Amino acid sequence: DTAVSQTPKYLVTQMGNDKSIKCEQNLGHDTMYWYKQDSKKFLKIMFSYNNKELIINETVPNRFSPKSPDKAHLNLHINSLELGDSAVYFCASSQMPGSNQPQHFGDGTRLSIL
Amino acid sequence: TQLLEQSPQFLSIQEGENLTVYCNSSSVFSSLQWYRQEPGEGPVLLVTVVTGGEVKKLKRLTFQFGDARKDSSLHITAAQPGDTGLYLCAGVKSGYALNFGKGTSLLVTP
């Protein structure tokens, strides 16, 4: 059973398009995250939700909009895709927010902008 | 500004060798986590260190948290090809955001 699952695994699309990535966790965790990993493998936090409420919103273009319909899901919608958006996007979850909490990651969505 | 600096960035060694990866910062962290990421997968937590000076062992891996809680190290004894991967340290300075280092890419050849 996959703990944190993301779909799709690969996403290839044209510049200017709008796309969504879905994430679901079956761990019963309260907190979910979106990270972006660039071509140099640097992993950077984008957003975090705790109990469906936004608690972290890093400096991310407003073309990126997260949505959490319930505690088990955190989706990421991206408008007007740009070349610089090409990266691997990871969803993660933890039992609660905090520095000691282990985060469980999905396997990533590889987004390529043509 | 990068909060956590990892070194070395790349490491290629032969099976059986020992190695140490460093994670340094000028900031104090309440805890640091170490993750390993394999190609095509997400990072997987190896250990969390909380107390200054703490040492934790996971089989052939030894993790140490600096006394001042600003740095950490990962030592691997007798590395094996299965240890190949990207090693990431991560910590929270304030709030909830986990800040990652840029990672150490390790290749262990038979």
Per-residue pLDDT of chain B (110 residues; tens, 9 = 90+): 568 999 999 999 999 999 999 999 998 888 899 999 999 999 999 999 999 999 999 999 999 999 999 999 999 999 999 999 999 999 876 667 788 999 999 999 99
| Alpha-helix residue ranges (DSSP H) falling in chain B | none
B40 interface with A at CB cutoff 8 Å: yes
Nearest-by-CA chain A residue for B29:
A99
What pLDDT sits at residue A15?
A: 96
Residue A108, both tokens: 């990533």
Which residues from B are below 8 Å from A100, CB to CB?
Answer: 30-31, 48, 50
**Interface contact flag, B103 A45, Cβ < 8 Å:** no
Residue A91 has pLDDT above 70, yes or no: yes
What pLDDT sits at residue B98?
A: 83
Residues 27-46 of A with CB under 8 A from B: 31, 33, 40-45
What pLDDT sits at residue A1?
A: 65
Largest CA distance in chain B: 43
Percent of chain A at pLDDT exceeding 90:
78
What pLDDT sits at residue A52?
A: 85
* Apex A17 CA angle, A114 and A11, nearest 5: 60
When pLDDT is cut at 50, 70 and 90, the band that residue A34 belongs to is very high
Strand partners, B32: B49, B91
Nearest-by-CA chain B residue for A35:
B98
Residue A60, both tokens: 């991310």
Q: What are phi and psi of B15, to 5 degrees?
A: -50, 135
Q: What are phi and psi of B83, to 5 degrees?
A: -80, -10
Residue A11 has pLDDT above 90, yes or no: yes
Nearest-by-CA chain A residue for B95:
A98
Strand partners, B100: B90
What pLDDT sits at residue A96?
A: 82
Q: What is the pLDDT of residues A63-72, one digit of tens each?
A: 999 999 999 9
- Alpha-carbon dihedral sign for residues A75, A86, A96, A57: negative
Which residues from A are below 8 Å from B100, CB to CB?
Answer: 42-44
Q: What is the distance of C-alpha B68 from the center of its chain?
A: 17
SS3 B81: helix
Indicate the average pLDDT of chain A.
93
CB atoms within 10 A of CB B87: 24
